[in-house]
Amino acid sequence: GAGVSQSPRYKVTKRGQDVALRCDPISGHVSLYWYRQALGQGPEFLTYFNYEAQQDKSGLPNDRFSAERPEGSISTLTIQRTEQRDSAMYRCASSLTGGLSTDTQYFGPGTRLTVL
């Protein structure tokens, strides 16, 4: 389909390993957002991009988390030296134009990360 896709859908890893989560936004969408959603909670903002530029990373919990979008399309969220508290659903969203907060954000299905 033409929606936001994320891979993998499920990731189980051991504590201390690095993981990379991928997001394919809707084609042509300028803005891309990463959220984290714990069980029983709403999505929590992590970071966002306009094209390839990271505009806001204030929601990244610590320096083990990083994100990139080198060509302004696909984005990767990387978590280094994973810890059990990183276990959550990681959601990506995209919107058509950048800088307009009224733009609808379209969410992907998420990647369920489990750190053992």
Nearer to other proteins, 33 or 65 (CB): 33
Nearest distance, CB of residue 114 and other proteins, angstroms: 16
Spell out the residues 6+ positions from residue 1 whose beta carbon is closer than 8 angstroms to its own: none
Element housing 34 (H / E): strand 31-37
Stretch that binds other proteins, among 15-23, 65-73, 75-83, 90-98 (CB under 8 A): 90-98
Cβ neighbourhood burial of 49 (10 Å; 0-12, 13-18, 19+): buried
Q: Is 42 in the site for other proteins (CB under 8 A)?
A: yes
Are 86 and 113 contacting, i.e. CB atoms less than 8 angstroms apart?
A: yes
Give the residue among 32, 31, 33, 54 at the shortest CA–CA distance from 44.
Answer: 33
User: Can you tell me which of 33, 34, 65, 90 binds other proteins, judged by CB under 8 A?
Assistant: 33
Task: Please list every residue from 59 through 78 that binds other proteins, using CB under 8 A.
Answer: 59
Q: Is residue 105 involved in binding other proteins (CB under 8 A)?
A: yes
Binding-site ranges for other proteins (CB under 8 A): 4, 31, 33, 35, 40-45, 48, 50, 55-56, 59, 91, 93, 95, 98-110
